[in-house]
Chains A and B, each alone.
Chain A
């Protein structure tokens, strides 16, 4: 046998009853390649340390060596399940820097696409959240609907997930003729499925018990950590960039900002965050319907595309309401055709930072639910 070693141990500092558990990077519910170092006291979580960087792709450095047009495919790959919403702030930032005014039709198509993608994103968020809580069936109902949305994207843009559709000054191509009918059908389908999900998952008592009063994020903590999106609104703060500082044409639509009210538990618990996403889907449906109604039929979507994207010297920070929160791009231009610096402010990254704060003292099973309620995408966190 091995030789005995005598080590001087300070026994007062040893906590023999704590267990350190590595959750991930390969784990069914870490939503990608997140690694959580969890300290457990029995089943109670005493500390969580998220370790990130398993999906780092140097987006910001690569962007410095690409011209403005080439960065867009990389922007797509940040939050790869809501690419349209990623492209929007980047494209609009460059347009603002160059002083381009895009045609009316482009704005409408952008809004419709972004809202469709917001629905698709929230469908994934709710589906995986249900999966984290153990409900498998709603997952597939929502994914079925998401597939219909992706088919529309494929028909309109050519890509299912990564579009490269919004260009500086316009769009890659016009939408196809029956686009409006297809989108309205999707809206109908989304509403129909949401009714099922409401009965099957949202108001299921087991689900409520699992998520209510769990991972409570008070409003002041949420603000201090810089949370945004459904995380912030779930805590009862009606802050939505689409209303707060309307970009694009969002000031023309009539919609509400759903906030968490603590209907079944405390304000700011996991259920509230989830219900905010769920109700946002309905609001997105409303925006889409209004946009389809107002959208001009004719118009050239490429008329404002500049011959060469070469913004003047300057810098800009432009932010949009991503499904996950406030996504902003800080771009410094030195007058060349390549950006001097591109910094992405990723909502998932900021939202994840609050995880240790809100998961201490809950059970291990709750930790998974809390992580699911944050709705992270590792592509965006690591960039």
Chain B
């Protein structure tokens, strides 16, 4: 199957198709965020044997909308001692960082906003952008809790980039490419071709299946840390730091932090989907594959990962700072390294 940008084909390579390519992910992001917020509310409620929001609309499905409206009309407070420029800039920096990641996500065979051949590398580089925003916001708030949260966040996100990068590197070794569309296409033809199960190839791939499964778990853990979700939500750990780096934010700026968190969740889910779960390809070979099915499969798989993230959040306690570092450097990194070496070895032999 060939890949292309449907808008460029329809409208030609001009500003209009580029604009649509940019706006479509934004629209998708907004709709996704609303659904994810509702999902978070409802899944947490069901896990805890509650009903969750039930008043706004049938079964409370309009609740995220109500919350967005509430946040918009809230007063925007800037603390007196805050550094105004950085304080105001921080939420947008974070959001810009996470939104830029959407540029290379292949939603389907015929639509990826910007098709570049180093997509995986780009998404990883731009993902680190969020640290700047968090440190900015935490420092500019002139609040000790915010500062502590920002410091924790910086160390956490930087150390978890490394196992994450090793996982990506292993995938690149397997796929021989950093192009997300190419990686996806390699896994076409059924779920046994997913990199989760060793990727396409002969029966010899059975040697690396345990390692690829391990790698996907490592990436899931690392991605939880990168998006600051429980069990790694220590930068905003409610019981200790009140709300961490966004303690002082209110209204729309707080909403931006929130928005960025959910958008980050989707991005890491998308990376996991593309790298290990075959992206937009159908798990059943040619059955149920095509342009729209591609969109469906991609979003379905990514949403499943998001669900797992939410599920984990409402199951686990929070780890401590030093344990987080221990887990990152002494557990995830050696494991990822071993997996990486085994996969490289496999590639050399076969």
Tell me, yes or no, whether A and B come into direct contact in the complex with CB atoms closer than 8 A.
yes
- Taking Cβ atoms with an 8 Å cutoff, the residues of A that contact B are 19, 21, 27-29, 43, 130-137, 140-141, 144, 200-201, 204, 206-207, 209-210, 363-366, 368
- Tell me how many residues of B have a C-beta within 8 Å of chain A: 28
**One of B125-133, B199-207, B227-235, B275-283 contacting the partner:** B227-235
Do A201 and B317 contact each other (CB < 8 Å), given the known contacts A29-B239, A365-B234, A365-B240?
A: yes
- B323 at the A interface (CB under 8 A): yes
Cα distance A200–B314 in the bound complex, in angstroms: 11
- List residues of chain A with CB within 8 A of the CB of B47: 137
- B182 at the A interface (CB under 8 A): no
- Determine whether the beta carbon of B316 is less than 8 Å from that of A28: no
Do A364 and B240 contact each other (CB < 8 Å), given the known contacts A19-B144, A140-B49, A144-B49?
A: yes
Nearest chain B CB to A135's CB is how many angstroms away? 4
- B48 at the A interface (CB under 8 A): yes
- Can you report 27 A-B residue pairs in the complex whose CB atoms are below 8 A from each other? A27-B242, A28-B242, A29-B240, A43-B152, A130-B317, A131-B239, A134-B233, A134-B237, A134-B239, A135-B316, A137-B47, A141-B48, A204-B316, A206-B316, A206-B317, A206-B319, A207-B317, A209-B320, A209-B323, A210-B317, A210-B319, A363-B321, A364-B148, A365-B234, A365-B240, A365-B318, A368-B239
Nearest chain B CB to A377's CB is how many angstroms away? 17
Nearest chain B CB to A322's CB is how many angstroms away? 25
Cα distance A80–B231 in the bound complex, in angstroms: 32
- Chain B residue nearest to A26 (CB atoms) is B242
Do A365 and B317 contact each other (CB < 8 Å), given the known contacts A134-B230, A134-B233?
A: no
- B55 at the A interface (CB under 8 A): no
Cα distance A133–B320 in the bound complex, in angstroms: 9
- List residues of chain A with CB within 8 A of the CB of B323: 206, 209-210
Interface centre among A134, A136, A363 (most CB of B within 10 A): A134
- List residues of chain B with CB within 8 A of the CB of A207: 317
Cα distance A136–B321 in the bound complex, in angstroms: 19
Do A137 and B318 contact each other (CB < 8 Å), given the known contacts A206-B231, A209-B323, A368-B239?
A: no
- Chain B residue nearest to A29 (CB atoms) is B239
Nearest chain A CB to B62's CB is how many angstroms away? 24
Do A210 and B320 contact each other (CB < 8 Å), given the known contacts A29-B240, A134-B239, A137-B47?
A: yes
Tell me the dominant secondary structure on chain A's binding face. helix
Nearest chain A CB to B235's CB is how many angstroms away? 12
- Determine whether the beta carbon of B239 is less than 8 Å from that of A28: yes
Closest 9 CB pairs of A and B: A134-B318, A135-B317, A140-B48, A29-B239, A133-B317, A134-B317, A132-B239, A207-B317, A365-B320
- List residues of chain B with CB within 8 A of the CB of A210: 317-320, 323
Nearest chain B CB to A123's CB is how many angstroms away? 15
- Determine whether the beta carbon of A21 is less than 8 Å from that of B144: yes
Nearest chain B CB to A338's CB is how many angstroms away? 44
- Determine whether the beta carbon of A43 is less than 8 Å from that of B50: no
- List residues of chain A with CB within 8 A of the CB of B322: 363
Nearest chain A CB to B244's CB is how many angstroms away? 12
- Determine whether the beta carbon of A366 is less than 8 Å from that of B320: yes
Nearest chain B CB to A29's CB is how many angstroms away? 4
Nearest chain B CB to A144's CB is how many angstroms away? 6
Nearest chain A CB to B120's CB is how many angstroms away? 30
Cα distance A132–B237 in the bound complex, in angstroms: 9
Interface centre among B234, B238, B316 (most CB of A within 10 A): B316
- Determine whether the beta carbon of B321 is less than 8 Å from that of A365: yes
From 321 to 348 in chain B, residues with beta carbon under 8 angstroms from any chain A beta carbon are 321-323
